[in-house]
Amino acid sequence: MSLVDRILKALPIKRKERPETRNVFVGIKPDDGAEEQRFPSNRIVSSKLIIDSPVSPITSGLPLAFVVILTALKQGYEDFLRHKADREVNRSPAYVFRDGNFVRVESHEIVVGDVVKVLSNEGIPCDMVMISSSSNDGECFITTANLDGETNLKKFRALLETKSFTNDETLTNLKMKIECEQPTTNLYKFIGTLNIFDGERKKVSLSSENVLLRGCCLKNTDFVMGCAIYTGQETKMGLNSRKSTIKFSRIEKTMNRFLIFYLCLLLFESALLVGLKHNFFSNDENKNLWYIDNEDSPSFKVIVEELLAFMILLNYTIPISMYVTVELQKFFGSMFFEWDREIYDPKTNEAARAITSDLNEELGQIEYLFTDKTGTLTENNMKFRQCSVNGIKFVDVYGKLCKKEKNIQPDPLRSYDEVIDLLKAVALCHTVRVEKVDKPNGVVNKGFSHEEECIPMSVLNDSADEADHNHNFQASSPDEKALVEACRDYGVIFQGTVDNVMKLKIGKTVKLYKLIHTLEFDPVRKRMSVMIQDERGDATLYVKGADSHIVPRLTGEKETVFSSCSDYAKDGLRTLVIAKKELSKSEFERDHEILTTAHNSVANRDENVALAYDQVERDLTLVGVTAVEDELQEGVPETLTSLRTAGIKVWVLTGDKEETAVNISYFAGHFDKNMQEMRLTNRISEEDCVEFLKQNKKILTDNVHGQYALIIDGHSLAIAQKCCRELLQEVCLLASTVLCCRMSPIQKADVVKLIKESKRHPTTAAIGDGANDVSMIQEAHVGIGLMGKEGRQAVRASDYAFGRFKFLRKAILVHGHYFYVRLAILVQYFFYKLMLETYYWCIPTCIGFLVTFIGYFVLTTIYSVANWPALFTPIFYRSFTRMCENHMWWLSILGLIVTCIVPDIVLRAIQDAKLGFKKSIYRRTSGRSIPYQRQEDYTDNNIPRNVTVVSNTVKGFANPSYDSAMESTHL
């Protein structure tokens, strides 16, 4: 009875009894109630492949099955964690307008054409055309940190024709048709039209300011409604994300190549041994050996059977158990990574996470590191630090404004007379919104004289009550928020804008200003302006922006501006120049007419607005210069220095503006002051890009030891990749470091891919904290996510995650180093052990003395599965220097002895005892070899009693020639 039959018989299964007789019907149907019988097919099967081998197939198959099952369980568990994170996102609640009211559904149930309602502080679940909002003017504010890394507020607005659809009743009567382009990766471009049927058909054009993208977060607005146009992977966020692929480390790829080599070696050896065997029996003297069966004419079937038999005997050449041990070693290594207290963030109470353990050793092989800026290198928290008025510099010291003088202790100002104009200009020139602000009560102060402006500092600070300091400012730029907060701390408090009336509290006096025009910031002008009118009717234009775009429009002294900006830039501070223009009544009417006409124009509106801004923002008077600091995360400069010393090149990829990114690079230590800048920015033609790259390639090639920093913007990168990809690749690799700004998420991934596909194929890593970093994290060999303020999309897509950028030094230079060294030792040990054991024991076995060594194969299988020395030695391996630093060297050495030497000693002792026992089984008596018997079975003359022994093991052992062969084999 076979093993399967025994198992089936032992199971409590009710089997159908076979009837004693069978009924065969010919030409008639079975009787009613007659039980139908089934009979076997008339097919004859007599072929059977029998592999004559002393090793059971189970002995070789179980380790392989164990490897496959263990690997499948590990990969399945890690994939389950990713599926769990995806399910959390897909099941997030959303409100959809169906059957006359809004119903709550899961976000994955949203379909194109649904009207979706998003509440304040919630994420946008899909790309949708904005219909209306809680604001009467149809505006809303969102943050796009997950798309471009910018946490400042951005204004979006609904169309004039749809902003009134704000409730269930009006939405029931809404009938419209949206025509738009197919989804693209461009985050800043949208082309479409909206046809609304309200009595008559109206066709209105749509732009990017009417579309809310998935991944954004709604701020400062109670709710917003929109029509879904792109869902799932067709959203701009989805198109800017790469599909996750299976990542393999370099060691795994090398192991697979060696595995193919050893598999070919196994086939060659088995074929060679089959040939040697038949060559041996081709000799007539060897054909009649009594102890080995001989086939006169070997057939193809016999050759295949013998080939498979030798492959089973030599199957230990293939290191199956090595894969089990490698998986266990990686698993335990990832546990040590998560248990490390030095990469635990107490602020967020987050420990490091090894989301996958397959790439542990790859952390120690990183050559290029690509990092985001906002939220990764910086805290994204601006702080006012210094300012300059009329060439006199002031510095913030613990919340007090002090005059900055060389070699003199800073002394807080007794009055703000010198800086009151600057504080008032900063408090008015912005687009900041204040949450929960009360409307003006209609009481208008008649202004204050110059003497009233010279308010003592104590009066200014003390006049700000607790409610003023609890204002929650929301700005379109973090610089604006930092400046307005600084003004609040100094007693000039912006209390909000209601119905285009700005409320400003200076000391104990409240002033009201009417906002006439806001000239919003754009990357071409690099400045923004506001035109306001005070209570007396006097109009003023306040302007702030980059020094390069403000200074040429100033009247009067300009050298002080350049000096102050240069000094602040050396300290890594972000500067803004503040200017103003007091308008006479005629100038006010003229500029007001110019701006109004430009904004109301239909044809060439953008060009007309840009021309109007240029005409108005002229003949400015300098007010002052401000300097703010984007706080770096703790330990960023030290981490970048350590990585650079280790030979790792760090690239910064950000969606932020060029000036901001360059300033942060200098302040963080990414750029050195001695580096020469090469700017591939604002290029508009392919010829321009090619010429720039050729010139700089020659410079880099001629000055190998020079320090050069390459700065690229997103638009120029797109042109260069299209026309001269290889040339761009060469220049990037020759540069000391690279900064990429104004990058879309997909461009970040393209940059990583550009380096991955270079001739050297270096190992890359990418680190980020937002959804805009997901693409490059998935593209890099190793993806690292930061548990930051921009959600958990980067963490879900990463391979490793922790809370702070400074932990990268420990993760790469310590854990990565140990992971690689430990795994390298493990793999080398395995190949050595398997080769030694296979060829030391299996070659004698292949000669024909198989029975003696059957027990060894079982022992070797157990030893290979366990592999305590190979498993635990790499896990606990640490450098001797590190052990001495921790005063634990003696414990580590003891661990090496216990885990490496003792098991081998025990194993060899068992083997020697086994072989000694088998050798003692033969005793010579009167020149004869006899089987071993118990002492009581022997007579006094050492002649055995009449004891019958039936055993295949000792059959034929009385033959002297075989006895000699066996004895020589033992020796």
How far apart, in whole angstroms, are the C-alpha atoms of residue 722 and residue 728?
Answer: 10
Q: Examine the pLDDT at 168 and tell me if it is beyond 80.
A: yes
Q: Examine the pLDDT at 920 and tell me if it is beyond 70.
A: no
How far apart, in whole angstroms, are the C-alpha atoms of residue 128 and residue 124?
Answer: 8
Q: Is residue 767 very low, low, confident or very high in pLDDT (cuts 50, 70, 90)?
A: very high
Question: What average pLDDT does range 91-96 have in this prediction?
Answer: 88
Q: Is residue 469 very low, low, confident or very high in pLDDT (cuts 50, 70, 90)?
A: low
How far apart, in whole angstroms, are the C-alpha atoms of residue 604 and residue 314?
Answer: 81
Would you say 728 and 720 are in contact if contact means Cβ atoms under 8 Å apart?
A: yes
Give me 501's structure tokens.
């009336």
Strand partners, 890: none
Strand partners, 395: 386, 402
Predicted pLDDT at 847: 44
How far apart, in whole angstroms, are the C-alpha atoms of residue 608 and residue 526?
Answer: 17
Give the pLDDT confidence of 126-150 residue by residue, as tens digits. 999 999 998 887 888 888 766 665 6
Question: What average pLDDT does range 808-816 have in this prediction?
Answer: 90
How far apart, in whole angstroms, are the C-alpha atoms of residue 206 and residue 103?
Answer: 28
Q: Who wins on pLDDT, 291 or 854? A: 291
Return the exposure string of 51-82: e unless at least 16 CB atoms fall within 10 Å of the residue's CB, then b. eebbbeeebbeebeeebeeeeeebeeebeeee
Would you say 504 and 453 are in contact if contact means Cβ atoms under 8 Å apart?
A: no
Crossing angle (nearest 10°) for helices 658-668 and 636-645: 80
Would you say 193 and 259 are in contact if contact means Cβ atoms under 8 Å apart?
A: no
Highest mean pLDDT among 269-273, 298-302, 475-479, 558-562: 269-273
Strand partners, 150: 144
Give me 418's structure tokens.
């010198």
Helix/strand/coil for 137: coil
How far apart, in whole angstroms, are the C-alpha atoms of residue 214 and residue 126?
Answer: 4
Identify which of 521, 409, 415 has the alpha carbon closest to the alpha carbon of residue 461. Answer: 415
Please spell the DSSP secondary structure of 820-863, one letter per residue: HHHHHHHHHHHHHHHHHHHHHHHHHHHHT--GGGHHHHHHHHHH
Q: Who wins on pLDDT, 677 or 379? A: 677
Annotated binding site for ATP: 372-374, 480, 521, 544, 574, 654-656, 742, 748, 772-773
Predicted pLDDT at 927: 39
Predicted pLDDT at 117: 92
Helix/strand/coil for 302: helix
Sign of torsion, CA 181 187 193 194?
Answer: positive
Residue-averaged pLDDT of the chain: 76
CB atoms within 10 A of CB 837: 16
Identify which of 337, 354, 356, 365 has the alpha carbon closest to the alpha carbon of residue 250. Answer: 365
Strand partners, 493: 505
How far apart, in whole angstroms, are the C-alpha atoms of residue 794 and residue 273?
Answer: 56
How far apart, in whole angstroms, are the C-alpha atoms of residue 453 and residue 767?
Answer: 50
Predicted pLDDT at 439: 43
Question: What average pLDDT does range 2-14 have in this prediction?
Answer: 54
How far is CA 532 from its chain centroid? 47
Question: What average pLDDT does range 354-383 have in this prediction?
Answer: 85
Annotated binding site: 372-374, 480, 521, 544, 574, 654-656, 742, 748, 769, 772-773
Q: Who wins on pLDDT, 118 or 523? A: 118
Return the exposure string of 639-656: e unless at least 16 CB atoms fall within 10 Å of the residue's CB, then b. bbebbbeeebbbbbbbbb
Distances, alpha carbon 385 to alpha carbons 487, 528, 571, 594, 631, in Å: 12, 21, 11, 37, 11
| Range with the poorest average pLDDT among 317-331, 541-555, 581-595 | 317-331
Q: Is residue 919 very low, low, confident or very high in pLDDT (cuts 50, 70, 90)?
A: very low
Helix/strand/coil for 224: strand
Q: Examine the pLDDT at 588 and tell me if it is beyond 70.
A: yes
Query: Residue 509: is it exposed, middle or buried by C-beta count within 10 angstroms (0-12/13-18/19+)?
Result: middle
Question: What average pLDDT does range 464-493 have in this prediction?
Answer: 77
Predicted pLDDT at 625: 92
Active site residue 372: yes
Query: Which amino acid, 173?
Result: N
Q: Who wins on pLDDT, 785 or 850? A: 785
pTM of the model: 0.62
Catalytic residue, from 114, 372, 547, 591: name it: 372
Question: What average pLDDT does range 850-872 have in this prediction?
Answer: 50
| Range with the poorest average pLDDT among 86-100, 289-303, 466-480, 872-886 | 872-886
Please spell the DSSP secondary structure of 646-693, one letter per residue: TT-EEEEE-SS-HHHHHHHHHHHTSS-TTPEEEEE-S--SHHHHHHHH
Give the pLDDT confidence of 883-908 residue by residue, as tens digits. 554 555 555 556 555 555 555 555 55
Q: Is residue 961 very low, low, confident or very high in pLDDT (cuts 50, 70, 90)?
A: very low
Question: What average pLDDT does range 238-266 have in this prediction?
Answer: 79
Would you say 396 and 457 are in contact if contact means Cβ atoms under 8 Å apart?
A: no
Predicted pLDDT at 952: 36
> Which residues, 6+ apart, have CB-to-CB distance to 535 below 8 Å?
444, 445, 446, 447, 511, 512, 513
Q: Who wins on pLDDT, 731 or 946? A: 731
Give the pLDDT confidence of 27-66 residue by residue, as tens digits. 666 666 566 667 776 766 555 555 555 556 666 667 677 7
How far is CA 315 from its chain centroid? 40
Predicted pLDDT at 739: 93
Give the pLDDT confidence of 509-553 residue by residue, as tens digits. 899 999 998 888 876 777 899 999 988 889 999 999 888 888 889
Q: Examine the pLDDT at 124 and tell me if it is beyond 80.
A: yes
**569 φ/ψ angles, rounded to the nearest 5 degrees:** -65, -35
Strand partners, 410: none
Identify which of 641, 597, 633 has the alpha carbon closest to the alpha carbon of residue 616. Answer: 597
Question: What average pLDDT does range 92-102 have in this prediction?
Answer: 87
Query: Which amino acid, 417?
Result: D
Crossing angle (nearest 10°) for helices 605-616 and 585-600: 160
Q: Is residue 933 very low, low, confident or very high in pLDDT (cuts 50, 70, 90)?
A: very low
Give me 395's structure tokens.
């510095």
Give the pLDDT confidence of 203-239 residue by residue, as tens digits. 887 888 888 988 888 887 889 999 999 988 888 887 8
Strands, E, within 191-308: which ranges?
192-198, 200-206, 211-212, 217-219, 223-230
- Composition of the chain by helix, strand, coil, percent to 5: 45, 20, 35
Annotated binding site for Mg(2+): 372, 374, 769, 773
Q: Is residue 580 very low, low, confident or very high in pLDDT (cuts 50, 70, 90)?
A: very high
What is the number of helices (H) and of strands (E) in the chain? 33, 36
Strand partners, 364: none
Question: What average pLDDT does range 635-658 have in this prediction?
Answer: 88
Predicted pLDDT at 846: 46
Q: Examine the pLDDT at 249 and tell me if it is beyond 70.
A: yes
How far apart, in whole angstroms, are the C-alpha atoms of residue 877 and residue 818?
Answer: 8
**517 φ/ψ angles, rounded to the nearest 5 degrees:** -140, 150
Predicted pLDDT at 468: 61
Give the pLDDT confidence of 292-313 residue by residue, as tens digits. 666 656 778 778 888 888 887 7
Question: What average pLDDT does range 439-462 have in this prediction?
Answer: 39
Would you say 338 and 354 are in contact if contact means Cβ atoms under 8 Å apart?
A: yes
H/E stretch holding 65:
helix 57-90
Predicted pLDDT at 764: 93
The CATH number of 380-435+472-631 is: 3.40.1110.10
DSSP state of 345: B
Fold of domain 95-234: 2.70.150
Fold of domain 333-378+632-820: Rossmann fold (3.40.50)
Tell me which long-range contacts 843-849 makes (C-beta under 8 A, separation of at least 24): 844/969, 845/54, 845/313, 846/273, 846/310, 846/313, 846/314, 848/291, 848/292, 849/965, 849/966, 849/969
Query: Residue 909: is it exposed, middle or buried by C-beta count within 10 angstroms (0-12/13-18/19+)?
Result: exposed
Predicted pLDDT at 807: 92
In the block, tokens 């090639």 appear at 701
Q: What percent of the chain has pLDDT over 90?
A: 12
How far apart, in whole angstroms, are the C-alpha atoms of residue 220 and residue 971?
Answer: 89
Q: Is residue 928 very low, low, confident or very high in pLDDT (cuts 50, 70, 90)?
A: very low
**209 φ/ψ angles, rounded to the nearest 5 degrees:** -75, -5
